[in-house]
């Protein structure tokens, strides 16, 4: 391992790029500079991937320095398989999103610098291991996202941006309060240290002796309340139904590039938070509430798939499908905390579910952002994005039809494409661990297939309306933009080991801890 | 060296009076020079203190007899808390002058009063003789009245009078308490350090604490004695609003902490729950009222009440972390409120001549005044307590302290933060962005461009909040040890020094 602080560099590159784009470039140069910056970050991410030790356990590329010692705040960075996966996903999706069609001609400098700021926030979130350090980036990513929706969004943008911001902040504040209670009790903000305390039961008793008493009668009541504070922060972000109401309008109103980042990466912040923070620090609470949590996951899966079915706006269809796909992640995760004998068979099932969750995070990030890209192209060309506004485009735009078709099928979960592997593993694990929830969730798969096929049919088949006769197929630049992503969809579908090798050690480590 | 912060301000004020009437530029430059000198002296004092003094020590600067018959000394000293607030005063003073650069009417008088106010503030933060502290405290009130009544706007006579009456009312309470302490102790001294060692009888402490604490806390905006604050802030000219929110409210909080709490620890324990409740009400009430204001400046005015509630709540936790959070919040709010008042009062109002959010909305200011919008976004983010800014580091500590002392209040204060997010966002959306799908009714006004002093002032304040937000150690290393000193430690160690 080199001595370069790669993770710091990873976060600094887009930050510096953002400042450069905002203050040091002309409007023409902005997109180019932004692209260079994100590609540079991608290079660092690839370097991390290449030098990552897949046999190692625990955090790698760790950087740890004192920050505000009197408050237990450390500059503490590190990645394991999960972190690496998310860093990679961010590094891939952001340059892809830069290429999306959109209205950023109005003030491109600001648009691209905000995107870069958002990227810095995401990298920071996925690498920081001390609560305060992590929280800075978690919140930092909110501001650019808010303005991206507010300034460049659709006709309902203000409401969408406001809802997005306030909903997320509600979760953030409850989470902050919960962590401050934990700090008041333990004097630590360090995720790993807190997880250790949780396993030994010290966390709960410390909380009760320093914070409890006046508000809660029992130790369990208090830590459950604290758990809910943290839970809400992540549940809003993912989102878990019923905390999802901000999402469809935010995704639909955001400009295409931003929708791609919102669904591709920002929704993963929530799942990542569940895996990195909530499950390790509150394993007992998750386990105690497993049945209701599984129900929420099941409802999220089935309801969002049904809702997607009812949408007339293509962006909203994709938005609800996004909730649906992340629902599988939650299902697998909550199933994996099931208390079982520590036999190899059960360990295998848990590992399968969690491997599936991580694969699904990555694959959904790719596929969903590609879907938003295609919908963005439709909107850009046609000026509308209703489910019934198009038809017969297959005849005039075969390449577009083919590539979008592949993405849709990846999203449906066709074997051989990337989406299949993650969902298969999640269901494999969940059927063993919590059969009933897996059984009901299958309904979600069915609905997904129905609405996605309907989408393909409405847009690409049938008679071609007269107004679309002169529809242009994708340009060379657009084809070149999506080809790498489509290629990844195939590669990861056929050879999922590329990802599994990276995350499996982390998963096994997690399984041991539950 | 730090004593010169006081003298240089008063000297500057005196020098201004001798300047010719018709040269406002000269008056500004003189004021800026004096303010900068104060800031430099404060910084120099900070560095000197860190190098020479042992952590937490109370370092005497000047100590000599003043009225020996009454045991009154002229005693200037500093510990980490004083230095933090002196530094704040320096920054706020410089920024205030920069944002008052457009004052043409009776400029030299304006800046003379302004510097006199600053001098009084420095004096309070450095005084360790109670009589002397009280003198400086009063000296800071009088210029405020004139600054508002002469150079103010909306209902300025009312605002100025209300502020002056509340301030004098508060100081009357303080004075009674201090004289009572002087008599009861029988020590024949006004030295804070000596009086703080005297075990006042509990029954006496119970009422004396209340008098002195409330007397000071009026100026800190303690609910329900806060009503002077929003009207005063709104009526004041920009530079004075910045000082009012930035440092004058801190005088109250500082006095409550330094005098009331150290002198009467038993009284403090008697009343802490009630006062903490008032503080939390202030946090939530201030935020809720800010949420429904039409006048942009009133939004900021009420947000000040809310944020000062965190200072008082932190003090009442009587935990080390809560107390250090309270002091850091004093610093942080001074910077952030100054920044927000500068945006509203100077960058917007002086250009558009309206502060009504409904009237500002159609102007779509984010297009015509991008820099102003940017500064408000940064200031707003800092004000709503986003991490990375000083407000977060301060409120974090206050909330940790509150969790340890009053868990329920921690939750309520958290709700206050959420309302803070909502009103800041509302002010941003209404103040700078035209509503969706409506054509801006007014054609974009060609607003006068942002001037260099405004840019410099904004950069100064933003830098300060960012530095402390990202590197809180700079101030915490001063503040936290200060609470270990024999004077301050009894507060949170429950009377054990």
Q: Cβ contacts of residue A201 below 8 Å, gap of 6+?
A: none
Determine, for residues A158 and B377 on separate chains, whether the beta-carbon distance falls below 8 Å: no
* pLDDT at residue A364 in the model: 93
pLDDT at site A22: 85
Helices A202-210 and A157-186: angle between axes, nearest 10 degrees = 90
CB contact under 8 A, A158 and B433: yes
Q: What's CA B393's distance to the chain center, in Å? A: 17
Is there a contact between A408 and A370 (Cβ–Cβ < 8 Å)?
no
- Structure confidence at residue B492 (pLDDT): 81
Query: Among all chains, which residue has been given the structure tokens 């982390």?
Result: A506
Beta bridge partners of A130: A190
Cβ pair B208, B267 in contact under 8 A: yes
Total Cβ atoms within 10 A of residue A277: 21
Record: contact A210-B417, CB cut-off 8 A: no
Residue in chain B lying closest to A182 (CA): B400
Closest C-alpha to B381, from B466, B474, B468, B310: B466
Residue A373 has what pLDDT? 92
Per-residue model confidence (pLDDT) at position B438: 64
Which regions of chain B are under pLDDT 70?
A: 437-445, 494-497
Contacts of B437 in chain A (CB under 8 A): 155
- How close B387 gets to chain A, by Cα (Å)? 5
Handedness of CA B225, B228, B231, B232 (dihedral sign): negative
Name the residue facing A70 among B418, B437, B480 (closest C-beta): B480
In chain A, the residue whose alpha carbon lies closest to the alpha carbon of B370 is: A110
Beta-carbon separation of B418 and A170 below 8 A: yes
CB atoms within 10 A of CB A495: 11
Look at A68 and B473 and tell me if their CB atoms are within 8 Å.
Answer: yes
Per CB distance under 8 Å, which residues of B are interface residues toward A? 321, 324, 366, 377, 381, 386-388, 393, 396-397, 399-401, 403-404, 406-408, 410-411, 414, 417-418, 421-422, 425, 429, 433, 435-437, 471-473, 476-477, 480
Domain residue spans of chain B = 3-492
Phi, psi torsion values for A277, nearest 5 degrees: -115, -55
Residues of chain A with pLDDT under 70: 1-2, 103-105, 213
Q: What is the ipTM of this complex?
A: 0.90
- Rounded to the nearest angstrom, the minimum Cα separation between A181 and chain B is 6
3-class DSSP assignment, residue B63: strand
**Cβ atoms of B254 and B290 closer than 8 Å:** no
Residue-level pLDDT at B441: 55
Q: Which residues of B touch A176 (CB under 8 A)?
A: 396, 399, 414
pLDDT tens digit sequence for B279-314 = 999 999 999 999 999 999 999 999 999 999 999 999
Q: Give chain A's length.
A: 514
Model pLDDT, residue B317: 92
Q: Could you give the CA distance from residue A316 to residue A322 in angstroms, rounded to a whole number?
A: 9
- Largest Cα separation within chain A, whole Å, is 73
CA of A421: how far to CAs of A319, A413, A497, B102, in Å? 21, 8, 10, 67
Decide if A173 and B417 are in contact by the 8 Å CB cutoff. Answer: yes
């Amino acid at each position: 391992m080199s001595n370069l602080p790669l993770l710091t560099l990873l976060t600094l590159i887009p930050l510096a790029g953002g400042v450069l784009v905002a203050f040091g470039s002309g409007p023409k140069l902005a997109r180019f500079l932004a692209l260079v910056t994100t590609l540079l970050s991608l290079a660092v991410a690839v370097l991390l991937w290449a030098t990552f030790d897949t046999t190692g356990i625990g955090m790698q590329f760790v950087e740890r320095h004192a920050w505000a010692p009197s408050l237990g705040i450390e500059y503490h960075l590190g990645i394991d398989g999960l972190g690496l996966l998310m860093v990679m996903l961010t590094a891939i999706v952001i340059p892809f999103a830069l290429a999306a069609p959109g209205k950023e001609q109005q003030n491109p400098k600001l648009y691209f610098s905000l995107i870069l700021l958002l990227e810095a926030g995401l990298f920071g979130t996925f690498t920081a291991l001390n609560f305060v350090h992590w929280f800075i980036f978690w919140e930092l990513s909110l501001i650019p996202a808010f303005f991206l929706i507010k300034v460049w969004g659709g006709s309902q943008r203000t409401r969408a941006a406001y809802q997005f911001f306030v909903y997320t902040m509600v979760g953030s504040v409850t989470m902050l309060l919960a962590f401050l209670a934990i700090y008041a009790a333990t004097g630590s903000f360090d995720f790993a240290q807190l997880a250790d305390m949780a396993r030994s039961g010290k966390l709960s008793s410390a909380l009760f002796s320093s914070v409890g008493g006046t508000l809660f009668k029992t130790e369990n009541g208090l830590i459950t309340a604290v758990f809910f504070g943290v839970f809400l922060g992540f549940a809003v972000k993912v989102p878990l139904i019923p905390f999802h109401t901000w999402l469809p309008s935010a995704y639909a109103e955001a400009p295409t590039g931003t929708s791609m980042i919102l669904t591709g990466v920002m929704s993963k912040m929530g799942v990542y938070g569940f895996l990195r923070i909530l499950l390790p620090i509150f394993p007992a609470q998750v386990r105690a509430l497993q049945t209701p949590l599984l129900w929420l996951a099941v409802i999220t899966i089935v309801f969002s798939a049904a809702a997607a079915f009812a949408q007339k706006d293509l962006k909203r269809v994709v938005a609800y499908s996004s909730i649906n796909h992340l629902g599988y992640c939650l299902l697998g995760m909550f199933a994996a905390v099931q208390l079982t004998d520590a036999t190899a068979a059960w360990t295998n099932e848990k590992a399968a579910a969690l491997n599936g969750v991580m694969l699904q995070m990555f694959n959904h990030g790719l596929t969903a952002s590609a879907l938003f890209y295609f919908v963005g192209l439709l909107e850009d060309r046609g000026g509308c994005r209703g489910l019934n506004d198009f038809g017969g485009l297959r005849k005039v735009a075969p390449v577009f039809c083919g590539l979008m078709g592949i993405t849709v099928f990846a999203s449906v979960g066709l074997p051989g494409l990337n989406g299949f592997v993650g969902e298969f593993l999640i269901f494999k694990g969940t059927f063993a661990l919590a059969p009933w929830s897996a059984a009901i969730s299958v309904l979600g798969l069915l609905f997904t297939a129905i609405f996605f096929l309907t989408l393909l049919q409405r847009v690409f088949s049938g008679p071609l309306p007269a107004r679309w006769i002169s529809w242009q197929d994708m340009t060379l630049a657009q084809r070149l933009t999506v080809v790498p992503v489509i290629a990844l969809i195939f590669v990861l579908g056929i050879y999922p080991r590329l990802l599994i090798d990276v995350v499996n050690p982390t998963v096994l480590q997690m399984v041991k801890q539950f | 060296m730090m004593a010169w912060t006081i003298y240089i301000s008063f000297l500057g004020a005196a020098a201004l009076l001798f300047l010719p009437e018709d040269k406002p530029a000269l008056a500004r430059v003189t004021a800026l020079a004096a303010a900068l000198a104060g800031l430099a002296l404060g910084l120099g004092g900070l560095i000197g203190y860190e190098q020479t003094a042992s952590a937490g020590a109370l370092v005497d600067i000047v100590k000599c007899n003043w009225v020996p018959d009454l045991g009154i000394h002229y005693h200037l000293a500093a510990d980490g808390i004083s230095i933090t607030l002196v530094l704040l005063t320096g920054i706020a003073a410089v920024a205030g002058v920069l944002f008052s650069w457009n004052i043409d009417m009776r400029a030299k008088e304006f800046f003379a009063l302004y510097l006199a106010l600053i001098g009084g503030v420095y004096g309070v933060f450095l005084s360790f003789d109670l009589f002397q502290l009280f003198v400086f405290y009063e000296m800071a009130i009088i210029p405020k009245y004139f600054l508002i009544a002469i150079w103010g706007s909306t209902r300025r006579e009312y605002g100025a009078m209300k502020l002056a009456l509340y301030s004098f009312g508060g100081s009357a309470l303080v004075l009674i308490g201090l004289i009572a302490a002087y008599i009861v102790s029988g020590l024949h001294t006004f030295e804070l350090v000596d009086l703080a060692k005297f075990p006042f009888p509990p029954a006496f402490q119970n009422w004396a604490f209340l008098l002195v604490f409330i007397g000071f806390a009026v100026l800190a905006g303690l609910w329900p004695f806060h009503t002077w604050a929003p009207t005063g802030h709104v009526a004041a000219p920009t530079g004075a609003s910045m000082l009012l929110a930035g440092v004058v409210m801190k005088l109250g909080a500082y006095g409550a902490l330094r005098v009331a709490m150290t002198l009467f620890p038993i009284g403090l324990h008697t009343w802490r729950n009630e006062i903490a409740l008032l503080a939390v009400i202030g946090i939530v009430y201030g935020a809720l009222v800010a949420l429904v204001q039409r006048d942009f400046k009133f939004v900021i005015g009420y947000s000040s009440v809310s944020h000062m509630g965190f200072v008082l709540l932190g003090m009442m936790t009587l935990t080390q972390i809560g107390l250090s959070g309270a002091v850091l919040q004093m610093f942080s709010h001074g910077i952030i409120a100054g920044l927000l008042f500068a945006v509203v009062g100077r960058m917007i109002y002086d250009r558009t001549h309206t502060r009504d959010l409904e009237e500002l909305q159609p102007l779509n200011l984010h297009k015509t005044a991008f820099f102003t919008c940017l500064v408000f976004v940064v200031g707003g983010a800092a004000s709503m307590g986003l991490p990375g800014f000083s407000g977060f580091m301060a409120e974090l500590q206050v909330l940790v302290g509150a969790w340890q002392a009053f868990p329920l209040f921690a939750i309520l204060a958290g709700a206050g933060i959420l309302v803070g997010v909502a009103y800041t966002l509302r002010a941003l959306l209404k103040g700078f962005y035209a509503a969706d799908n409506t054509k801006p009714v007014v054609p974009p006004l060609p607003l006068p461009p942002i001037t260099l002093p405004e840019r410099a002032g904004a950069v100064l304040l933003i830098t300060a909040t960012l530095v402390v937000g990202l590197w809180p150690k700079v101030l915490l290393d001063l503040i936290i040890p200060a609470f270990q000193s024999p004077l301050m430690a009894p507060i949170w160690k429950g009377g054990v020094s």
